[in-house]
């Protein structure tokens, strides 16, 4: 009898241990980096070179660690020499390219439906042209507005363009009705695209977006930025949530913010974090794996030659200075 009891206790201890391991393995360690390739209006040659250098610094940090990330750009960036760098990035299976409108800090909701459609279609086409003719095809499949600014016309155009996701949202701050607590992408009611919320972190009892521009523009230190990144990563694991971070090349591509980025990447690397593109993240929320399509025999839209491969590209932009809680219905954003 004593032996039976002893054996039962051993089995119970083993089962509890396995349950703890399983629970640990199921904790989310998913990180999505969304990198906004911004540039000043009518930049000088020196400013273009500086913007290019920022982009290269961030890309190199991703490549040396073999990480996935989403890079995105406005139309005006692609009209500079930076287009060549974006084309290089677009050839990597680890990276997505992205479109976000005409220029940085754009307020697209102030435009008419026709103006918005022209802007978005031109921006998407410019990104899709960042390819090597006959070698790869860029298919832009996602969007996020500058400064998280958008309206019902924007949503309608995204549906018409067949866009799969829109990253103009923030967890618990800017969200669709009924999705205040959602950290994972969710299908936008009444539309065909998924809403992708940028992660937020409680700072002095206020939810703030994990967006480097917000921290810098609001006078927060780079140390506070690092603490927010590390704190959110730990918090997200416990809640089985992804960490979605919005970075700006002009900020995190140099100086103290670049140091914070590399420090954070080193930290999460020791904890076996899984880095994904935004399209990956959307497909994870659909509970299915994502594999970039490579249809044989696809013809290049530029030269008519058969492409060697076709790469599906997701699209994201994140730029915001606002932390007022907002809900989004099918027509507009309402501040609470």
Planar angle of CA 146, 257, 175, nearest 5 degrees: 35
Residue 155 clears pLDDT 90, i.e. is over it: yes
Place 1 in a pLDDT band, splitting at 50, 70 and 90: low
The predicted-structure confidence for 284-310, as pLDDT tens digits, reads as follows 998 744 444 443 344 454 455 544 433
* Domain membership flag for residue 202: yes
Residue range 129-137: average pLDDT? 89
- Quote the mean pLDDT of the chain: 83
Helix (H) or strand (E) holding 5: helix 2-26
CATH number at residue 103: 3.20.20.370
Q: Specify the range with the lowest mean pLDDT, choosing from 2-6, 71-75, 169-173.
A: 2-6
* Domain membership flag for residue 300: yes
HSE at residue 75, side-chain half, CA atoms within 13 A, is 14
Q: Specify the range with the lowest mean pLDDT, choosing from 82-91, 189-198, 215-224, 312-321.
A: 312-321
Largest CA distance in the chain: 86
Residue 257 clears pLDDT 70, i.e. is over it: yes
Residue 83 clears pLDDT 80, i.e. is over it: yes
Q: Specify the range with the lowest mean pLDDT, choosing from 114-123, 193-202, 235-244.
A: 235-244
> What pLDDT, on a 0 to 100 scale, did the predictor assign at position 223?
97
Number of domains, the chain: 1
Closest C-alpha to 199, from 164, 151, 231, 163: 231
* Domain membership flag for residue 8: no
> What pLDDT, on a 0 to 100 scale, did the predictor assign at position 190?
96
> What pLDDT, on a 0 to 100 scale, did the predictor assign at position 98?
84
Neighbours of 292 (CB within 10 A): 15
Rounded to whole angstroms, the Cα distance separating 138 from 14 reads 50
The answer to whether 113 and 159 are in contact (CB under 8 A) is: no
3-state secondary structure 226-294: HHHHHHHHHHHHHHCCCEEEEEEHHHHCCHHHHHHHHHHHHHHHCCCCEEECHHHHHHHHCCCCCCCCC
The answer to whether 74 and 101 are in contact (CB under 8 A) is: yes
Residue 24 clears pLDDT 50, i.e. is over it: no
Rounded to whole angstroms, the Cα distance separating 109 from 83 reads 27
* Domain membership flag for residue 14: no
Residue 324 clears pLDDT 90, i.e. is over it: no
The predicted-structure confidence for 258-271, as pLDDT tens digits, reads as follows 999 999 999 999 99
* Domain membership flag for residue 19: no
* Domain membership flag for residue 237: yes
Q: Which domain holds residue 137?
A: 29-335
* Domain membership flag for residue 21: no
Residue 100 clears pLDDT 50, i.e. is over it: yes
* Domain membership flag for residue 95: yes
Place 191 in a pLDDT band, splitting at 50, 70 and 90: very high
The predicted-structure confidence for 201-253, as pLDDT tens digits, reads as follows 999 999 999 999 999 999 999 999 999 999 999 999 889 999 999 999 999 99
């Amino acid at each position: 009898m004593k032996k039976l009891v002893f054996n039962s206790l051993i089995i119970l201890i083993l089962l509890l241990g396995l349950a703890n391991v399983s629970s640990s393995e199921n904790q989310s360690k998913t990180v999505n980096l969304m990198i906004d390739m911004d540039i000043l209006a009518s930049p000088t040659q020196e400013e273009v070179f500086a913007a290019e250098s920022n982009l290269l610094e961030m890309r190199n940090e991703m490549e040396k660690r073999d990480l996935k990330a989403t890079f995105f750009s406005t139309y005006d960036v692609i009209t500079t020499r930076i287009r060549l760098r974006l084309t290089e990035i677009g050839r990597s299976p680890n990276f997505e390219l992205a479109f976000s409108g005409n220029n940085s800090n754009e307020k697209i909701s102030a435009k008419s439906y026709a103006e918005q459609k022209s802007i978005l279609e031109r921006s998407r086409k410019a990104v899709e042209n960042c390819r090597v003719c006959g070698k790869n095809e860029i298919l832009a499949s996602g969007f996020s507005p500058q400064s998280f600014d958008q309206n019902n016309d924007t949503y309608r155009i995204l549906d018409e363009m067949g866009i799969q996701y829109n990253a103009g949202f923030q967890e618990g701050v800017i969200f669709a009705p009924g999705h205040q607590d959602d950290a994972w992408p969710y299908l936008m009611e009444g539309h065909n695209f998924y809403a992708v919320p940028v992660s937020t972190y409680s700072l002095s009892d206020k939810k703030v977006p994990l967006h480097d521009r917000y921290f810098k523009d609001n006078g927060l230190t780079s140390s506070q930025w690092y603490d927010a990144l590390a704190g959110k990563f730990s918090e997200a694991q416990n809640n089985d949530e992804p960490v979605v971070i919005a970075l700006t090349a002009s900020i995190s591509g140099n100086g103290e913010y670049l140091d914070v980025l590399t420090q954070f990447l080193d930290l999460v690397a020791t904890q076996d974090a899984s880095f994904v593109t935004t399209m990956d993240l959307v497909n994870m929320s659909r509970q299915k794996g994502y594999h970039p399509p490579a249809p044989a025999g696809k013809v290049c839209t530029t030269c008519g030659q058969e492409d060697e491969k076709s790469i599906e590209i997701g699209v994201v932009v994140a730029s915001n200075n606002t932390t007022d809680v907002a809900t989004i219905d099918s027509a507009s954003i309402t501040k609470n």
